[in-house]
Amino acid sequence: MKRNGWVAVVVLAALVAAVPMCRQEPAATPSIEVYFSPRGGCTEAVMRQIDAARSSILVQAYSFTSAPIAKALIEAHRRGVRVEAVLDSSQKSEKYSAADFLAHLGIPTRLDDKHAIAHNKVMIFDGEVVITGSFNFTKSAELSNAENLLVIRDPGLAARYTANWREHAGHSEPYVGRGAAVLADPASDFAPDAVPEPSDSQPAGYLASTNSQVFHRAGCRSVSKIAGKNLTVYATRDEAIAAGKKPCAECKP
C-alpha cells in the first residue's frame, strides 16, 4: 500500500512534467508534401493551394507561362486574396508572358533585373504555406521535364521566404504589361506563335467569356464577372470579331 502510494506520486509527477511539452508540440511540426513531374500532380498541387488561399499569395517566378496557374491566380485576386508577383526580367522580352496577363488584370506585378537570372520558383500562401522546388510554372515543366515541387506548411519558414520576397520586390520595377497574352484554351499554355509583337499603339487587349458573344476592354466592369477559367484574351479588336464576338455596348471596345 505504501509502495503503491509512492508509485502514484512518481507517475503523477511525470505526467505534470510532461504536460507543457505535449502542448507545445503540434504547432512546431511542419507538414511536407512532394510531387515529381512529368505528370506527377505538380500543377494540380499548385492550383489546390491557390484555390485554398484566404488572404495572400506572393509569387516569385523565373519562367511563368502556365495558363491554368495564371487563371487560378486571377480567380484568387477576384475573390479578394492579395496576389502579388515578382518575375524575372526575361518576362519582358518573351513574346508571350504571364506578366502581361497578370498586370492587365490588376495583379501588382514587378520585374526583377538585379540578378543574372531571378531563378526562384516560389509561392507563399497566407504566410503559412510555401511551395518551391525546380518546378517552373509552365506546361513543359508539367508535361515534359523532370522536376520536383515541395509543399511545406510551416509559418516560420514562410516568414523567412516572405522576407526574401519583400527584399526582391523592393528592388524590382513595377510592370504594367504590354501587348496582350492569348489564352484561348484553358488547358493549353500561352500560344507563343499566335501573339503578335506588341506595339506602343496597341491597347491592353480585349477580353471575353467563352460563354458570351460579347467582348470588352480590359477595364470594363463586366470583365470582373467573367470566371477565370472562361476568360479569353484577344490581342486585337479584329481578332475578337473574327472569333464571332460583338463589341460590348457599355465599354464600346
Give catalytic residue positions. 119, 121, 126
CB-hemisphere CA count at 13 Å for 6?
A: 3
Q: Please say which residue, 60 or 136, places its beta carbon nearer to Zn ion.
A: 60
Q: Which residues contact 202 (CB under 8 A, 6 or more apart)?
A: 178, 179, 180, 196, 235, 236
Owner of C-alpha cell 477565370: 228
Interface residue with Zn ion, options 39, 82, 114, 225 (CB under 5 A): 114
Q: Which three cell numbers stand for residue 174?
A: 513595377
Binding mask 173-212 for Zn ion (x = CB under 5 A): ----------------------------------------
Candidate segments 25-33, 147-155, 217-225, 238-246, binder of Zn ion by CB under 5 A:
217-225
Judge whether 182 and 198 are in contact, CB under 8 Å: no
Candidate segments 55-63, 128-136, 215-223, 224-232, binder of Zn ion by CB under 5 A:
215-223
Interface residue with Zn ion, options 92, 95, 168, 229 (CB under 5 A): 168
Q: Which three-class secondary structure state does DSSP give residue 27? A: helix
Q: Please say which residue, 185 or 250, places its beta carbon nearer to Zn ion.
A: 250
Candidate segments 17-25, 30-38, 132-140, 218-226, binder of Zn ion by CB under 5 A:
218-226
Judge whether 85 and 100 are in contact, CB under 8 Å: no
Residue 88 engages Zn ion in binding (rule: CB under 5 A)? no
Q: Please say which residue, 112 or 189, places its beta carbon nearer to Zn ion.
A: 112
> For 137, which DSSP code?
B
Residue 248 engages Zn ion in binding (rule: CB under 5 A)? yes
Q: Please say which residue, 54 or 225, places its beta carbon nearer to Zn ion.
A: 225
Owner of C-alpha cell 499603339: 201
Judge whether 205 and 180 are in contact, CB under 8 Å: yes
C-alpha–C-alpha distance, residues 51 and 43, integer Å: 12
Residue 166 engages Zn ion in binding (rule: CB under 5 A)? no
Number of residues that bind Zn ion (CB under 5 A): 9
Interface residue with Zn ion, options 88, 94, 100, 112 (CB under 5 A): 112
Residue 216 engages Zn ion in binding (rule: CB under 5 A)? yes
Amino acid identity of residue 14, one-letter, is A
Candidate segments 48-56, 75-83, 151-159, 163-171, binder of Zn ion by CB under 5 A:
163-171
The burial class, CB within 10 Å (0-12 / 13-18 / 19+), for 164 is middle
Q: Which three-class secondary structure state does DSSP give residue 138? A: coil
Q: Which residues bind Zn ion (CB under 5 A)?
A: 112, 114, 168, 216, 220, 222, 248, 250-251
